[in-house]
Chains A and B, each alone.
Chain A
Amino acid sequence: MRIGGGFSRLYGVLIYVSLAVIIIGLFLETYLGGEISEGLMLGGLLIMILSPIVGVVYLALYYLKKDRWALLYSIIVLVIALVNLLYCFGF
């Protein structure tokens, strides 16, 4: 399978999952309100925000034995993202 095909499918799944969670959250927010709806919307947003990072993990795994330079680039991008994530949430 070409890298584009698998990557496209992965993004497709992530998009639909995050979108479904956000839409359920919005629906509940409109008609019921409360913490559950906020939690769902936040969860959906988090899935969406972290999706590009999941994409880079996929690329790192894809390039593992194929291209060491591309693997190095993806690992550096992941390290930057991880350090940023840990720093922002106070670890």
Chain B
Amino acid sequence: MFKFIFVVVLILLIVMDFMYRLTSIVIGFLAGFIGSMLGVGGGFFIVPMIVYFLGVSMHLAVSVSLMCVIMTSLSATKVYSSKGLVDFKLGLLLEIFTSLGAITGSYIALGVEEYILKIVFGLVLSYAALRMILSRTVRERKVKLSKKKIALGSLGSYFAGVASGMLGIGGGTLKVPVMVLLMGVPIRTAIATSSFMIGVTASSAAIVYLSSGVFDLVIAGFIIVGIFVGAQIGSRIGLGVRGIWLRRGFGVLLLVFALKMLFDGLSVIL
């Protein structure tokens, strides 16, 4: 009888472990697919998913997410750069400010309580979700970058970097609107350039977490495998699809996660 129970428990543990790993791969696939299609890192998707489905702490989720965002960036940039869509010079200029912001943000995150991170993440995620739901197709147009536009873009990029390091996101949800709305960069170029930038930004922030010992190799490994496959498919589909309804539908999903996280964070204070 005892042997039978032991075997049943062992089988259950293996199955549970299998589900845990399968869940990691599926989360990675969805994050890579959606992130590369929209020019974002997918961190805003990975963080709430692994917090709620894998039950890890917020700090660990942010760290794992940053490592995963790099894979999304590498895969998407590989495809976009081969099509000549990435504006490397603009990306490098804005990246100076974003990298500084990312390093600042990761040190802020390591020093604050988890519920504060949840509230800030919930607010940023709500903004990203509403922007996705309410966004309209922006007309492609070529504009010359004035000094004022570059200054505005640099400032916006710094804050995108702070959000990236603090919240484990690539910052693409903020970088794309900064480039499109403040600098007048065409949407496709903005998405491709943002894909390149988020890798460099997340790399700076991930090094801070790696050196602090806040990471999980197994979760990160399985999610990265899923991301690679998802990003390869997503970036190819993203080249030919307008995807406004996908954007809006995904925005609604994000809003649900954002509100859940916001209420979780606020419930500690109230």
Assuming A2-B84, A23-B225, is B78 touching A51 (CB within 8 A)? no
| CB nearest to B78 among chain A residues | A11
Are B224 and A4 in contact (CB-based, < 8 A)? no
Q: Report which residue of B95, B208, B221 has the largest number of chain A beta carbons within 10 angstroms of its beta carbon.
A: B221
Interface status of B237 (Cβ within 8 A of chain A): no
Kindly count the residue-residue contacts between A and B in the assembled complex, taking CB atoms under 8 Å apart: 136
Say whether chain B's binding surface is mostly helix, strand, loop, or mixed. helix
| CB nearest to A74 among chain B residues | B92
> B82 is contacted by which of A8, A26, A41, A50 (Cβ under 8 Å)?
A8
> A19 is contacted by which of B82, B210, B228 (Cβ under 8 Å)?
B228
Are B92 and A51 in contact (CB-based, < 8 A)? no
Are B199 and A52 in contact (CB-based, < 8 A)? yes
> Interface size class for chain B?
35 or more
Distance in angstroms between the alpha carbons of A51 and B73 in the assembled complex: 10
Binds A, one of B96-104, B111-119, B174-182, B247-255: B96-104
Contacting residues, chain A, for B220 (C-beta < 8 A): 41, 45
If A49-B203, A49-B207 are given as contacts, then 18 extra A-B residue pairs at C-beta distance below 8 Å, sorted by A number, are A5-B81, A7-B86, A11-B78, A42-B217, A45-B210, A48-B67, A48-B70, A48-B71, A49-B70, A52-B70, A52-B73, A52-B200, A77-B95, A77-B96, A80-B100, A81-B200, A84-B204, A85-B207
